[in-house]
Amino acid sequence: MATIESLLAAVELPDSATPRLDAELLLAHVLGKPRSYLRTWPEQVPSGEQRRAFAECLRRRRAGEPVAYILGRQGFWSLELDVAPQTLIPRPDTELLVEAALTLLPATPARVLDLGTGSGAIALALAAERPAWQLVGVDRVDEAVALAERNRRRLGLSNARFEASHWFSALQGERYRLIVSNPPYIPIDDPHLQRGDVRFEPRSALVAGADGLDDIRSIVAVAPDHLEPDGWLLLEHGYDQAEAVRDLLEAAGFVARESRRDLGGHQRISLGRKP
């Protein structure tokens, strides 16, 4: 009989950077158990139905589908979020955006906007950390707005809301103390688009013109009209785009411009303050 231990030992995922982790996450998902269960009860024998479901998960993973889409769930910050192919998978590098946002404003009442919210990851992480803040997350994809709202309800965060808007299009007259965004920033001809998990993620959430800066240009140009005096704009961008983004911020009149590095040492986010 195939035990948990023997099932995991037989797994081959040659194109995965973390084959054992992937296999454990998928098997734990099929069993409805935490990963710790696999080590505590390695001699347990999954049912035939569970083995078939695990085999199907492995088939999808071998085809390159991200583990997060197979599971329908991804951890971000302190939260577990539902994810779907209509949105990007939240990544650890984006937690730097949350960390930076928390340093810019005190924990007192403030209106904060998350542009291109996707699964709601950034907005919900900030809402969880700052109960006095009022978070608004917008996305032009209706399915993303619905997904973010489902995450909000499941997490019980009443200080966030989500609505449909292509950047600022539905926000006329609205002002915020802080605007954050992880917009598309990959150049259209970047070879990384043909590799790994991004092959399965929505291209509209990844690609932004020939140099990857089209959406950032749009955001920086309009953001001053939606910021309160001394309000901040905080952007994630590509590892080699920090100088260009700071130049855009300068041209739009932002002061106190700076970039901050991610865990890999790359300048991953840039920010500026409206005078």
49 and 179 within one domain: no
Domain of 103 in residue numbering reads as: 84-273
Are 88 and 59 within one domain? no
153 and 42 in a common domain:
no
* Average pLDDT in the chain: 93
- Evaluate if residue 198 carries a pLDDT over 80: no
Q: What's the number of domains the chain is made of?
A: 2
- Residue 34 maps to a domain: yes
Of the listed ranges 5-14, 95-104, 136-145, 248-257, the one predicted with least confidence:
5-14
* 162 in any annotated domain: yes
In a domain, 163, yes or no: yes
User: Counting beta carbons within 10 angstroms of the beta carbon of residue 49, is it exposed (0 to 12), middle (13 to 18) or buried (19 or more)?
Assistant: exposed
Does the pLDDT value for residue 179 go beyond 70? yes
Q: Indicate if 118 and 219 belong to the same structural domain.
A: yes
Do 195 and 261 fall within a single domain?
yes
Residues 47 and 98 in one domain: no
Residues 185 and 113 in one domain: yes
Whether the pLDDT of residue 196 is over 90: the answer is no
Residues 30 and 159 in one domain: no
Find out whether 170 and 163 touch, Cβ atoms under 8 Å: yes
| Mean pLDDT of the 99-115 span | 97
Q: Are residues 55 and 145 in the same domain?
A: no
Average pLDDT over residues 181-201: 79
Q: Give the pLDDT of residue 194.
A: 67
Position 77 in a domain: no
Q: Are residues 158 and 216 in the same domain?
A: yes
* pLDDT for position 25: 94
3-class SS string, the chain: CCCHHHHHHCCCCCCCCCHHHHHHHHHHHHHCCCHHHHHHCCCCCCCHHHHHHHHHHHHHHHCCCCHHHHHCEEEECCEEEECCCCCCCCCHHHHHHHHHHHHHCCCCCEEEEEECCCCCHHHHHHHHHCCCEEEEEEECCHHHHHHHHHHHHHHCCCCEEEEECCCCCCCCCCCEEEEEECCCCECCCCHHHHCHHHHHCCHHHCECCCCCCHHHHHHHHHHHHHEEEEEEEEEECCCCCHHHHHHHHHHCCCEEEEEEECCCCCEEEEEEECC
- Model pLDDT, residue 232: 98
Tell me which residue of 160, 155, 272, 156 sits closest to 223, measured CA to CA: 272
Let me know if residue 196 belongs to a domain.
yes
Please say if the pLDDT value at position 130 is more than 90: yes
Q: What is the CATH number of the domain that holds 228?
A: 3.40.50.150
CA of residue 224 relative to chain centroid, distance: 24
pLDDT band of residue 67 (cuts 50, 70, 90) is very high
Percent of the chain with pLDDT over 90: 80
69 within domain boundaries? no
Q: Is residue 70 part of a domain?
A: no
Within a domain: 122: yes
